[in-house]
Amino acid sequence: MLVVAPIVILAIGAFLTVIISMTGEVLASRASNNLTYSVQDALNRIEQDVKMSSSFLATNTVLGTAQGYNDDATSFTNIGSNGTSLILNMVATTSNPVSTGSTYVYLKDKPNPCAASQGNIPFTYNVVYYIKADTLYRRTLMPTNYTDTTNTVCNTPWQQPSCSPTYMDAQAGSVFCKTKDVQLVSGVKAEDFIVQYFNGEASTSQNSIASTSTSIPDRNTALQSATTVGITINAKQDVAGRSVERTAIMRASRLDSNASAIATISADAAPVAPKVTTTLGEPTDVTFTWPKVAAATGYTFEYELNNSGTWVSGFTNQSTQQFKVTTATHKDIVKGRVTAINGALNSAYGTASITVPLWTSMNLQNNWVDYSPPFTSAGYTKTSSGLIVLKGMVRGGAGTIGILPVGYRPTMNITFENSTNQAGGRVDVGPTGLVNLSVGSNAWFSLDGIAFMPASATFTVPTLQNGWVNYSPSSGDPNWQGAGYLTDSLGRVHTNGLVRAGTVTSPTTMFTLPVGLRPPEYLHMLNTVSGSVGHFGVNSNGNIEAKGYTNTYSSLQSMFYPAGRATGTNCTTQWCNISLVNGWQHYGSPYATPQYTKSADGIVMLKGLINGGSSNAIQITTLPAGYCPAETLLLATSSAAAWSRLDVARQSNGTCIVVPAAGSTTWISLDNIHYIAEP
């Protein structure tokens, strides 16, 4: 046994050695066969592409997202630090180029429309054979706009862009490339992929400039003359401890030696910044528009309000060439910026801005026209608190004066007492936006001072007292707003509605406002009563009081601050005392003290009951700059239980005077006088 055992072990070892050697030979032989096939297949691929190519290139002319040599924007070159590459310019086709139904893809409008594309420039792409990590790959390069049938091409190419397998495997979502590069042969070092260029199929002399010049333009010029390439692939692999090596050489020529005249698509450059313009729509919509930008496949739009620094996305990468901003309001600064894109490349911003005017001009109807300066032209606005304000002195028409847009209308019909040709007049505003003259002269009618909360505001319905009920229209009458009250975002109390049928003996309570919504002193509010001029009172106990007129109907439109607003010297947060002149004085307690204030939305309000002026046309006071309208306003009020008019006229130094153009010196109410201050 001691003699036999070593012999057996040696025999087994020899047997294993033979088996391993035989296995290695088999593996090496298989690898050699595979390598031979791979090298030949690579040469066949190159030959097929060369025959179909239009020209050889010194560097790529197109480059999609992540298609560069380093999976970025690094261009390929036929010689250089990244080794030798074969770069072919190819004409894109509508299907497999070897199929009988395949046709070229043409550039849109270059110069003809696609329907008559004869003579148009073919759309081209690049094929690159390159070495990376000792492996020969084939990559298809496409411009980023290769599928843009709206602006770039007449048809979508059959060919699709490819990227490196490493890059494609790392992407979690969709990418520009649709497939992986073709891995042709492994074991090929940079120096083992040799490309030689010749100026003819039978030529034996290399076009040396094409593969040696350091100047890309010089190489490109030389390559336009080259029709043939000679390709050498030397592949080496280690398999089972054995070195396997295969070398193969191939020459191939372009089928059309004149095809180099076919233009190549330039690499995508960033589009120029769009030229943006603005258009103001009624009432405050801002539309940004820009023309088509060459080479752009889409646009991204953002906007900003009032220099906030917060940009709001309108849309991203869409072909549309306009966007409407509908969230702006009067006096807002609206900025828009547009980026033109063509895949991964963006233009600089194209920008435009507009300041929405304080007023939107009213589209006058039925022969109504603006009176003339210095009186205001007809217009409307919405303040930051949501308050709708009208202005304007108009003449010459009948019936409907104008129409307010959606968002600037009340829930139901409301009515206002205003001034018309030295008398009181009535205007109604309805839920369809109609501003209608109901009572008055067309010699002139003032819309100044009309203000109300829109349909989006919610009024609280009060409990009516002493027989007063909401107005019930007879057949054919419009639906009138019932009595209600609310507090706006700036603390002002609003009342509205049309009521009837109650006790009119002064002072009879129609309804009572809750604590916290009551004025500190007694207010006199002008209103319409049965088609004539009247007024109602609001006392410090919150009682809305009838003042002795008929009860066919009575309107309740008013706006005032409750008792919480203090008196002081900051007139934008407090009441400031009015300096009365020409004998005018405070009527006395419990009636409102003559004062003025301005709220954050620019509304100036007056209050107070005065008397004693030497005549009804003598100036009451002067208000400081910053508290004045831009033009003369004609504001209706109550005076000695009758209609009166206060004119607020701007002076050249920015101040404004308040003059009673009609009324009695017995008493004039400044309560419910309000307007918008302008610079």
CA-to-CA dists, residue 207 to 200, 211, 218, 254, angstroms? 10, 7, 12, 15
- Assign 267 a pLDDT band (cuts: 50, 70, 90): very low
- pLDDT tens-digit readout, 87-97: 999 999 999 98
Instruction: Count Cα neighbours of 666 within 13 Å in the Cβ-side half-sphere.
Output: 9
508-534 average pLDDT score: 95
**Whole-angstrom Cα distance, residue 362 to residue 403?**
7
Q: What is the pLDDT of residue 27?
A: 55
Q: What is the pLDDT of residue 629?
A: 97
353-381 average pLDDT score: 96
- pLDDT tens-digit readout, 517-529: 999 999 999 999 9
> Per-residue pLDDT for 263 more than 70?
no
The β-bridge partners of 512 are 543
Please, what is the average pLDDT of the chain?
A: 90
CA-to-CA dists, residue 400 to 330, 366, 425, 437, angstroms? 25, 7, 14, 6
- pLDDT tens-digit readout, 8-32: 666 666 565 556 555 556 556 787 8
270-275 average pLDDT score: 89
Q: What is the pTM of this model?
A: 0.65
- pLDDT tens-digit readout, 586-626: 999 999 999 999 999 999 999 999 999 877 789 999 999 99
283-288 average pLDDT score: 96
Look at strands 469-470 and 379-382 and give their pairing.
unpaired
- Assign 258 a pLDDT band (cuts: 50, 70, 90): low
> Per-residue pLDDT for 264 more than 60?
no
- pLDDT tens-digit readout, 42-72: 999 999 999 999 999 999 988 888 899 999 8
DSSP state letter for 161: -
Calculate what percentage of the chain has a pLDDT beyond 90.
72
- pLDDT tens-digit readout, 73-87: 889 999 998 889 999
- 523: CB partners within 8 A, 6+ apart: 537, 538, 539, 558, 560, 592, 607, 669, 671, 672
Instruction: Count Cα neighbours of 584 within 13 Å in the Cβ-side half-sphere.
Output: 27
In the sheet that 434-439 helps form, which strands lie side by side, from edge to edge? Answer: 400-403, 434-439, 423-429, 414-420
Largest CA-CA distance found in the chain, in angstroms, rounded: 150
Handedness of CA 82, 85, 89, 95 (dihedral sign): negative
Instruction: Count Cα neighbours of 243 within 13 Å in the Cβ-side half-sphere.
Output: 4
> Per-residue pLDDT for 2 more than 90?
no
In the sheet that 135-141 helps form, which strands lie side by side, from edge to edge? Answer: 53-57, 86-91, 124-132, 135-141, 182-186
Q: What is the pLDDT of residue 65?
A: 85
Handedness of CA 673, 674, 675, 676 (dihedral sign): positive
> Per-residue pLDDT for 133 more than 90?
yes
Q: What is the pLDDT of residue 3?
A: 61
CA-to-CA dists, residue 414 to 335, 409, 426, 484, angstroms? 37, 10, 10, 12
H or E element, residue 361: strand 360-361
Q: Of 254-258, 395-399, 486-490, where does mean pLDDT reach its minimum?
A: 254-258
- Cβ(346)–Cβ(386) under 8 Å? no
**Which of 497, 420, 510 lies closest to 464 in space, CA to CA?**
510
Structural domains of the chain, ranges and CATH numbers in brackets: 32-261 (no CATH), 277-355 (2.60.40.10), 358-457 (2.60.40.1830), 461-564 (2.60.40), 576-676 (2.60.40.1830)
- 412: CB partners within 8 A, 6+ apart: 430, 431, 478, 479, 480, 481, 482
DSSP state letter for 461: P
The β-bridge partners of 509 are 545
Long-range contacts of 290-296 (CB under 8 A, 24+ apart): 290/321, 290/322, 290/338, 290/350, 291/321, 292/151, 292/321, 293/340, 293/347, 295/145, 295/268, 295/269, 295/271, 295/342, 296/151, 296/271, 296/340, 296/341, 296/342, 296/347
Q: What is the pLDDT of residue 297?
A: 75
311-317 average pLDDT score: 93
Q: What is the pLDDT of residue 475?
A: 56
Three-state secondary structure of 567-585: ECCCCCCCEEECCCCCCCE
Q: Of 8-17, 153-162, 586-595, 646-655, where does mean pLDDT reach its minimum?
A: 8-17
**Whole-angstrom Cα distance, residue 666 to residue 679?**
34
Look at strands 179-180 and 162-163 and give their pairing.
parallel
331-358 average pLDDT score: 90
Cα 563 from chain centre: 43
Task: List the structure tokens of 156.
Answer: 């979508």
295 or 546, greater pLDDT: 546
Handedness of CA 311, 315, 317, 320 (dihedral sign): negative
Look at strands 400-403 and 484-487 and give their pairing.
unpaired
Q: What is the pLDDT of residue 423?
A: 94
Q: Of 209-223, 497-511, 642-656, where does mean pLDDT reach its minimum?
A: 209-223
**Which of 472, 460, 446 lies closest to 646 in space, CA to CA?**
446
504 burial via Cβ count (<10 Å: 0-12, 13-18, 19+): buried
Q: In b/e form, how buried is each residue of 95-127, taking b as 16+ CB within 10 angstroms?
A: eebeeeeeebbbbbebebeeeebeebbbbbbbb
> Per-residue pLDDT for 1 more than 70?
no
- Assign 169 a pLDDT band (cuts: 50, 70, 90): confident
183 burial via Cβ count (<10 Å: 0-12, 13-18, 19+): middle
**Whole-angstrom Cα distance, residue 526 to residue 636?**
8
Q: In b/e form, how buried is each residue of 609-624, taking b as 16+ CB within 10 angstroms?
A: bbbebeebeebbbbbe
- Cβ(624)–Cβ(637) under 8 Å? no
Cα 114 from chain centre: 33
**Whole-angstrom Cα distance, residue 625 to residue 653?**
8
Residue 424: phi, psi to the nearest 5? -80, 145
DSSP state letter for 182: E
One-letter amino acid identity for 189? K
Residue 32: phi, psi to the nearest 5? -65, -40
**Whole-angstrom Cα distance, residue 500 to residue 509?**
13
Task: List the structure tokens of 562.
Answer: 């409750």
